[in-house]
Amino acid sequence: MARAARSGMWRGARLGLVVATAGALMPSAPALAAQEDSARVLPTIRSVDLRTLPKARDWQPGDPIKEIPRRVTRPPAPPLPSPPQVDPLVALQAKAPKRAVQTFNLITDFPGGGFSGVQPPDTVGDVGPNHYIQLINFGSGTQIRVYDKNGVLLSGPTPLDSLGTAQCASGLGDPIVLYDQLADRWLLTEFATSGNRFCVYVSQTPDPISGGWFAYNFQATNFPDYPKYGVWPDAFYVTTNENTPAIYAFDRNSMLAGTAAALPQRFTAPPLSGFGFNTLTPADLDGATPPPAGAPGILMRHNDSESHGNPGGPDTVEIWEFHVDFATPANSTFANVTNVQVSEFDSNTCNFSFSCVPQPSGPPLDPLREVIMHRLQYRNFGTHRTLVGNFMTDVGVDQHEVRWFELRQTTGPWGLFQEGTYGPDLTHRWMGAIAMDGTGNIGLAYNVSSTSVFPGLRFTGRVFSDPTGTMPEPETVIEPGTASNSSSRYGDYAAMSIDPVDDCTFWFTGEYNPATQWSTRIAKLIFAECVPVPVHLQGFSVE
């Protein structure tokens, strides 16, 4: 698609899309067939109880194992010679006072989906008023599991593509699930096995099991690798690793209503030369207060000057804004509006190898250095707005740790409020997931591994009154690993979310290794300092 630069801004043409047509449906899964329209995308309406759909078959020893290759969109330019970078934030964390009494506590954790024959599982989950939904890859796309808040499995594992028709009747995975708090609804996604298609399912009601779904099928320009979604009032914003980093806006309001949706709009950003894998991360809204009226969608990525051809320049996090106008697409804009300087970080681990994090035996694991991890969380506190995120950095010679940050905005541009690097010892930490509760406390969970530590899951955190840039909470084990992973492919992401009912409880899901084949856990955590607040959601309130 043609792209023209104008004052740092890219204008994109609308995509021509093909709408799913109805396929053969099981008697237990009635549907209203979608139709094709030259200017709108109509859904397939699925009035179905997930418990009536066939279960996904469990993987058994001897079954095939599929390793999903990394998709490299362009050969990465070799990093320019530079001296080893010193991360100044490691010392800041080391000097921080350690909390004597733990205040960020693990309430419970329970098993999620087990090994499904695919490396990696792409573990993701989110929490709503009454349910927790986890999605993982399996041999034929995506598995969906729905739990109650005590960890009881209510539905699944169900193939997500059992909700799809036509091109979406065969899913390929790379799932995302998000709870849309402003609407009290759910979003489930994967891509299809062919046709460069997004398969997107929006719940008809707050009930994800028996409330029914609106199934949409959108076509990307290229294969939409590593899609990440963010809920925003005017759109579902989606980022992908295509030939160039691509950003889409889906017509959220129409999709929530189950009506004909405007054609998605697409822009691209210039790729970073040091990475063969390029994508941005969309901001995803938490809390009951929406962004200011008319606020654009926010997309971000980190930029390591030495790794991307600017040695000696500042390291930054880039902020891009997407103003979408579905009624008049020519008015939509996408621009890099701010580059916020952060402390020095290093993305060049193992000379950009995809296999770098050590484990006691077996292949080294993928550090996934290229992205701000899922989710980039947005909150509106009224007096200010926050963006909280994390990514991997090298703090020594191929020593992987988690860099985290909090940006704030009042009346002007976004600025850095605090940042930290969590690496208290020589154990490697990566694949982080981070969020802030409604009181301003931050929870961070991640994978750990080393030559003597098997791949497991741990967490730490900070209360709002702690010294900035520090995580004083004692590092705590969610689940220890007891074996090395059989494949170097790991992750590719995890998920941390906040319970919309109390705006206090953190829910985390991630991959770990109880055996040479991975499994997943779901953990529930809370800060003693968090003050539950009355939360009003569409259709119900908690006082």
DSSP 223-250: --EEEEEEEETTEEEEEEESSSEEEEEE
Other Cβ atoms within 10 Å of 387 Cβ, number = 23
What's the CA gap between 38 and 454, in Å, rounded? Answer: 53
Helix (H, G, I), strand (E, B) or coil at 152: coil
The first and second tokens of residue 488, run together, are: 């170097």
pLDDT of residue 96: 87
Distance CA(158)–CA(26), nearest Å, equals 14
Exposed / middle / buried, residue 118 (Cβ in 10 Å: 0-12, 13-18, 19+): buried
- How far apart, in whole angstroms, are the C-alpha atoms of residue 231 and residue 285? 6
Going by C-alpha positions, the residue among 14, 11, 46 that lies closest to residue 251 is: 14
Give the angle subtended at the CA of 351 by the CAs of 350 and 354, to the nearest 5°: 65
CA triplet 183, 11, 369: central angle to 5 degrees? 70
- Amino acid at position 129, single letter: P
Rounded Cα distance between 448 and 427, Å, is 7
| pLDDT the model gives residue 83 | 66
* pLDDT value at residue 535: 54
Q: What is the pLDDT of residue 81?
A: 61
Q: Which two tokens stand for residue 538?
A: 């569409």
Neighbours of 396 (CB within 10 A): 16
Dihedral sign computed on CA atoms, order 80, 245, 280, 176: negative
The neighbour count for residue 425, using CB atoms within 10 Å, is 12
User: Between β-strands 428-436 and 245-250, what pairing exists: parallel, antiparallel or unpaired?
Assistant: unpaired
Give CA–CA dist 56/134, Å, rounded. 14
What pLDDT score was predicted for residue 27? Answer: 28
Of the candidates 228, 251, 113, 217, the one whose C-alpha atom is nearest the C-alpha of residue 178 is 228
Question: Which residues make beta-bridge pairs with 66?
Answer: 118
Single pTM value for the model:
0.91
Q: Are 283 and 376 in contact (CB under 8 A)?
A: yes
Cβ-count burial 33-67 (b if 16+ within 10 Å, e if not):
ebeeeeebbbbbbbebebeebeebeebeeeeeeee
Third-level CATH fold of 17-22+30-58+86-531: Methylamine Dehydrogenase; Chain H (2.130.10)
What is the rounded distance in angstroms from the CA atom of residue 405 to the CA atom of residue 468? 10
Each of the 543 residues of the chain gets a pLDDT tens digit; together they read 332 322 233 323 323 332 222 222 222 333 333 333 557 889 999 999 999 999 998 999 999 999 988 888 777 766 666 666 779 999 999 998 888 888 999 999 999 999 999 999 999 999 999 999 999 999 989 999 999 999 999 999 999 999 999 999 999 999 999 999 999 999 999 999 999 999 999 999 999 999 999 999 999 999 999 999 999 999 999 999 999 999 999 999 999 999 999 999 999 999 998 888 999 999 999 999 999 999 999 999 999 998 888 888 999 999 999 999 999 999 999 999 999 999 999 998 887 778 999 999 999 999 999 999 999 999 999 999 999 999 999 998 889 999 999 999 999 999 999 999 999 999 999 999 999 999 999 999 999 999 999 999 999 999 999 999 999 999 999 999 999 999 999 999 999 999 999 999 999 999 999 999 999 999 999 999 898 875 544 444 333
Which residues make Cβ contacts (< 8 Å) with residue 64, sequence separation at least 6?
A: 117, 139
pLDDT at 13: 31
Listed residue (269, 420, 415) closest to 340, CA to CA: 415
Please give the Cα distance from 285 to 313 (Å, whole number).
Answer: 32
Task: List b or e across 91-107, with b for residues whose CB sees 16 or more CB atoms inside 10 angstroms.
Answer: ebbeebeebeeebbebe
**Residues whose CB falls within 8 Å of the CB of residue 339, separated by 6 or more in sequence, listed in order:** 303, 316, 317, 318, 319
Quick check: helix, strand or coil at residue 306? coil
The conformation of residue 83, written as its DSSP 8-state character, comes to P
pLDDT at position 36 is 38
Q: What angle do CA 415, 421, 424 make, to 5 degrees?
A: 160
Q: What is the pLDDT of residue 104?
A: 95
Number of other CB atoms surrounding residue 86 within 10 Å: 12
Ordered DSSP codes for 101-148: S--EEEEEEEEEEE--SEES---EEEE-SS-EEEEEEETTEEEEEEE-
* 472 CA to centre of own chain: 25
Q: How far apart are CA 220 and CA 239, in angstroms?
A: 11
